Amino acid sequence: MADIQSIKNRFGIIGNSPTLNYALQVAVQVSNTDLTVLIVGESGVGKEAFSHIIHSLSSRKHNPFIAINCGAIPEGTIDSELFGHEKGSFTSAAESRKGYFETVNSGTIFLDEIGEMPLGTQARLLRVLESGEFIRVGSSKVQKTDVRVIAATNKDLLGLVQQGRFREDLYYRLNTVPIRVPSLKERKEDIVVLFRKFAVDFAERYKTSPVQLDEGARQRLTNHPWPGNVRELKNMAEQISVLAADKSVTVNELSKFLPDASSGNRLPVLAHNNGGTHEFNNEREILYKLFFDMKRDVTELKKLFMEVLQNPSAAMQNPSFLAEVKDLHPTENNAPVLVGNSSAQPVIMQNNIHEHEEVEESLNIMDKEKELIIKALKKHRGKRKDAALDLGISERTLYRKLKEYDIDQ
C-alpha cells in the first residue's frame, strides 16, 4: 500500500476508497508489461490519468506518449490521422504524412472514447494489435510498428457489440486487462477531501484564502450525485473559490452553486442490471430534452381544457385561467375565447374555434433526430462544423448521421 500512496503523491491522485486503490493497484501491476489495457468509467473520473500512470511506470517511459480522442476526429480523416496517408490518396493530400502509429513507434498510444471509432478503422486497429502491421491510406506497402495501446471508454462496449456498432473481436482484444475507474458516487468518502484539495489549489492561484465548508455543506456535498464526477467537482470548487461571499460556506451558500438533485430538468440515465448507470449519447440528449418539454406543454394544455369541461363556471371566474386562455388562443380583437354572463353558463364562441381532430404525434427518435440535423444545417447554411457544434455532437458523428439518414446537404 506504501507503493500505491507514492503513486498517488506522484500523479496527484486524491482519495483512499478501496475501489480507487484497487484500480491503481491493477494499473501498477500491468504497467511493466506490453498488454493492451481497457480503462472504463464514467465521464470525468480521470481515465486519462491512469494511462499516464501506466506509461510512466513502463519500460517505454522514455519513448513517446500521445493521447487521442477518437470522438473528436472526423470519420473521413481518422484513418489518415492514425495510420498516415500517401500523396494524392485523397483530394487534400498534397504530400505524404506519417500517422500516429508510425510517429509513436516504440511508445504508447492512448485512444480515448474508443467506442466512437468507425467500424472500418476498428478493423485496421485490430490488425495493429494482432500483428503490429498497418498500411497507410492510399498505399499497398505493409509497415510494422511497436506501439502499446491503452484504450478508454465511458460506454458499454459489449452493448455496442450486440448492436453491431463495435467489433466483437476488437472488444476482446482490447479487454485483455480491464481497469474500472470508480465514479464519485461510489467513493463518497473522498468527495470532501477532493474539494479541500481543489479549494487550496485555487486559493493559491487566485491569491486568496481557501474556502471552508460547515458540517451541513459537507453533507450536501457528499450527497450530491455528481454526474460529471471529479471534473464537475473541480469546476464547482473553482466557482465557489471565486464567487463565494464568505470564505466559510454554509449549506445555503453551497446550494447556489449546486443544481437541485431532485430537479426534473435532469436527463434520464439507463440503468444496468448490475446497478450501474450509463449516460445517454450526446447526440440524443437534445432530443430527450425536446421530448420532455413538449410532453410537459401538452400535459398542461390538456389539464387546462379538462378544467373547462368539468367545471366551466369555476374556470370562467378564475382570472388566471382567462389569462392563460388568452395567451394560448388570442382572437383578432385580443378577447378571450370563452365568454359568459351571470345568468347563464359560459359558452364557447364557435366562430373562434377551429374544428380539429386529435392526431397522435410521432415520437420516433430517429425522425426527430433527422429533423433537428436538417434544421441545424439550414440554420448554418450547410456549414457542418457549426451545425455539429450547435447540436452538441462531434463533427465526425454528424458526418455519420448524414450518411445514416441519407441527408443530402
Q: What are the tens digits of pLDDT across the range 344-367?
A: 444 444 444 444 444 455 556 777
Take residue 123 and report the three cell numbers written for it.
Answer: 478493423
157 and 40 part of one domain:
yes
- Per-residue pLDDT at 327 exceeds 60: no
Q: What are the tens digits of pLDDT across the range 201-241?
A: 999 999 999 999 999 999 999 999 999 999 999 999 999 99
> Is-above-0.95 flag for pTM?
no
Residue with more model confidence, 67 or 320: 67
225 and 148 part of one domain:
no
Can you tell me the distance from the alpha carbon of 398 to that of 197, in angstroms, rounded to the nearest whole number? 39
Q: What are the tens digits of pLDDT across the range 243-273?
A: 988 889 999 999 888 876 544 444 444 444 4
101 and 36 part of one domain:
yes
Task: Write the CA distances from 287 to 225, 272, 282, 373, integer angstroms.
Answer: 23, 22, 10, 11
- Per-residue pLDDT at 152 exceeds 80: yes
Take residue 96 and report the three cell numbers written for it.
Answer: 505524404
Whether 341 maps to a domain, the answer reads no
pLDDT value for 284: 53
Beta-carbon neighbour count of residue 20 at 10 Å?
22
170 and 210 part of one domain:
no
Whether 121 maps to a domain, the answer reads yes
124-156 burial string, b = 16+ CB within 10 Å, else e? bbbebbeeeebbbbbbeeebebebbbbbbbbbb
162 and 41 part of one domain:
yes
Q: Where residue 251 sits, what CATH number does that domain have?
A: 1.10.8.60
Take residue 80 and report the three cell numbers written for it.
Answer: 489518415
- Per-residue pLDDT at 37 exceeds 50: yes
291 and 386 part of one domain:
yes
Can you tell me the distance from the alpha carbon of 192 to that of 380, in angstroms, rounded to the nearest whole number? 44
- Per-residue pLDDT at 396 exceeds 90: no
Q: Residue 154 belongs to what domain range?
A: 2-182
Can you tell me the distance from the alpha carbon of 137 to that of 82, in angstroms, rounded to the nearest whole number? 10
12 and 151 part of one domain:
yes
94-103, 215-224, 366-375: least confident range: 366-375
Provide the number of structural domains found in the chain: 3
